[in-house]
Structure 1
């Protein structure tokens, strides 16, 4: 039995790559048996950001333990660290755009920051976007793929990549309005993002919503109101979802024992962690790992 989910790193074969790559879904599907370190149809953790644009066919794609249906004009976006798996079907076609954390940060310095916060905030939005028929975003994926596979020496090639990339991101940000749940930048969204950032830093120290409200200089009631307005759950429920997702990722991506995992997540006793995990998932940590793999 496979002991853990493989972590896939950014490994472009293109010389002097600046941290971005594009390939087709069908090319990945055709060589899946040739890939030694992992099968893209099996769960794997990505160590980079990824945008998948489906241009033909129907299937589904796994994102953080949830299968999302895909069809023509579906876009799936994943952030670094998320769990991914494809399901290739005969008529499935499209593009896979990969880029590193460093590349993303460099782009943030030159673009409106909220575009990147919104697109890659996995708790605020679904990873799936359905592109309207009249959108022209496919032209820019086509153009990027054409430029990326242009073997002519061009000293300005990296700037060309950055320009097309910026257009694609602006287009994707605009498409967010077509999602059923769409949030505009607001004071509540900003408070939620600050809360999430604090949780990422201190979740090992506290799972208490009062702890985070105090650090934000707001009341527990106010933090609950913010969470309900942005993600439709209470602050405590969001904390629990965050902890459970971290636990799931660690469980399937390492040989860590439940005792070690409990301590790494801030639980003083492993039995308390097992009860907590089972309460929120219906599985013990060991059973979850066995069932998932």
Structure 2
């Protein structure tokens, strides 16, 4: 059995935590070499949702194999299952807000639906928000950090966390909507999200767009029209991008063999997987691992 990709679970140091934590970027940078199971500057998969706010300095952050430039007032958001890595540079400051899937589910009724779509559908949007100078969202991160790290125990502390978490989401919704004004709640969007959910469930079974169109009770042509409208690519291209990303996430682990990965992804022959991967990336799986390392 191969060694798993570094998979970082939520592990708060605060007793009786309900599933939320906030820490400073500086504190993580200081203890980066102390982690037993991973190094935060090396690619790892997160098992929680994460919002990172940079308040000073300049650097880069890896999100699903793409390095994004970050600076003062940059926000990066990742959803559960994505690949992350930090690059700690001198004078880099900010906050890292972590929360579990269960915590998010409990908060859903208090959160704007559009924001959940914008933040936690990685295939739809860029993970970056650049905060304008006149926004006060930074102050709410500061307040949550102060509350969370307060030595004074308060009987309604959890309620305070939830309230500040909700406010931050509303603030991010206001900022993100200007980047995604074209996205509106619609029948097309709902069908696309259903398609994405089916793909997440059945991608090892089928890479054929007809398969998913049939399950959605629509034609292949209709599914293609929806994909082109929402994400500007065909259904087949979306399927290929999804599967290649899944393959890359597994290949972060340098010990997994292409043969093993091919079968895990539903390919009948390892050679077919190698050809498929090379066609979509320009690399063989082994070449990609070497480039990554």
Task: Write out aligned runs for 1:83-122 (5 A).
Answer: 83-122=83-122
What is the CA distance between 1:48 and its match in structure 2?
A: 0.9
What is the rounded CA distance, in whole Å, between the counterparts of 2:4 and 2:254 in structure 1?
A: 5
What is the rounded CA distance, in whole Å, between the counterparts of 1:247 and 1:212 in structure 2?
A: 20
SS at match of 1:67: strand
1:260 maps onto 2:260 in alignment: yes
Structure 1 stretches of 4+ moved >6 Å: none
Over the aligned positions, Cα root-mean-square deviation in angstroms equals 1.6
Q: Which residue of 1 aligns with 2:216?
A: 216
Change (3 A) 1:182 1:142: farther
1:157 maps onto 2:157 in alignment: yes
Q: Which residue of 2 aligns with 1:124?
A: 124
Task: Write out aligned runs for 1:148-187 (5 A).
Answer: 148-179=148-179, 182-187=182-187
What is the rounded CA distance, in whole Å, between the counterparts of 2:174 and 2:146 in structure 1?
A: 24
Change (3 A) 1:128 1:182: farther
What TM-score does the superposition give when structure 1 sets the normalisation length? 0.94
CA contact (8 A) 1:4 1:252 kept: no
What is the CA distance between 1:186 and its match in structure 2?
A: 1.9
Q: Which residue of 2 aligns with 1:19?
A: 19
CA contact (8 A) 1:125 1:181 kept: no
Task: Write out aligned runs for 1:1-293 (5 A).
Answer: 5-179=5-179, 182-253=182-253, 255-293=255-293
Deviations 1:115-147 (A, max 9, x none): 323211101110011111111111110110010
What is the CA distance between 1:73 and its match in structure 2?
A: 0.9
What is the CA distance between 1:195 and its match in structure 2?
A: 0.7
What is the rounded CA distance, in whole Å, between the counterparts of 2:155 and 2:175 in structure 1?
A: 33
What is the CA distance between 1:149 and its match in structure 2?
A: 0.8
What is the CA distance between 1:148 and its match in structure 2?
A: 0.2
What is the CA distance between 1:55 and its match in structure 2?
A: 0.9
What TM-score does the superposition give when structure 2 sets the normalisation length? 0.94
Unmatched runs of 5 consecutive residues or more in structure 1: none
After TM superposition, the structure 1 stretch with the greater mean CA deviation from structure 2, 66-75 or 36-45, is: 36-45
SS at match of 1:178: coil
CA contact (8 A) 1:51 1:77 kept: yes
CA contact (8 A) 1:63 1:78 kept: yes
Deviations 1:164-202 (A, max 9, x none): 101111111121123267522222211111110111111
Deviations 1:205-239 (A, max 9, x none): 11111111111122211111111111111110000
What is the rounded CA distance, in whole Å, between the counterparts of 2:123 and 2:230 in structure 1?
A: 9
